[in-house]
Structure 1
Amino acid sequence: MSRQLWFLRHGEAEPHGTRADAERRLTARGEDQARAAGQAIAALDAAPVIVFTSPKVRAHDTAALACAALPGDPVVHHALVGLDAGEALALLEAASDGERILLVGHEPDFSQVVHDLTGARIDMKKGGIAVVRMDGSRGELAVLLRPRELRAIAGA
């Protein structure tokens, strides 16, 4: 059985220059995107065993809002700022066969990690999800969901 890495890009945030980058907050739309992502994951019966989040405010708040519909609380992991494939695989070690890990963070890191693991080129939207199924060292892009698709799954 395979393990899965779920990547949730933070929701829409305040524009650059509003405040220091690490302190930028979600907009109301970004908050809705985060809630819908958590509700969609729950509706898919795909709750992760652990949620790791970037320490940046917009990612941490996305994780907290998504986790309102999921068991457990997000765990801050500083390597999610500048994430690479090796670190993503190291985080996946927290999962057993058939389990999922949810990573909440940023672009362009997530698209690059998905590419490094699967060879797929993707465009992750703010508030979107990519799922990579790992079978040993081989990765497969299982799904890519945009925020509007997550809202539909969530029934929002």
Structure 2
Amino acid sequence: MKKTPIKIKKHNYKIKVEWTGNQGNGTQNYKSYTRNHNIIAENKYETIKGSADPSFLGDKTKYNPEDLFLSSISACHMLWYLHLCSVNNIIVTDYLDNANAVMEETKDGKGKFTEVTLHPNVKITDPSRINEANKLHQKANRMCFIANSCNFPIKHTPITTKE
């Protein structure tokens, strides 16, 4: 029997990152510039104001790459979870995730994320389906494009309650 090849659908993304931190002397030394930048995507309403983490001389009032990485994992999980609830006829009326992550930095300045835990707080209309709703987090994790791109496990500690 001849196997039919699996069709792979490719999605392409473009983003523009524009450094806005030249204080007049460029990168003359480590403290002569800010880490501020704009993240711009075509057809998007707003520009994201970014910087580095304050530990790396960034502006604490702006999003840093680590914030955006964690929010990407959390948002992707949420979108898959809502989809799975929808197709399983579980009605979600509220979803809030207080996600956290750990990044380790070595003496030579390299670093990597070693842990992410999502803490989704979900409200559903049917309390008899809370266990089923909680189990869908595992499937959402398996489906999440961002989680599938990580080299560490994404943990979940969901709390699901009746609306």
Which category of TM-score, normalised to the shorter sequence, fits these structures? under 0.3
Which entry has the higher C-alpha Rg, 1 or 2?
Answer: 2
| Larger fraction in strand | 2
Higher RCO (CA-CA < 8 Å; seq separation 6+):
1
| Larger fraction in helix | 1
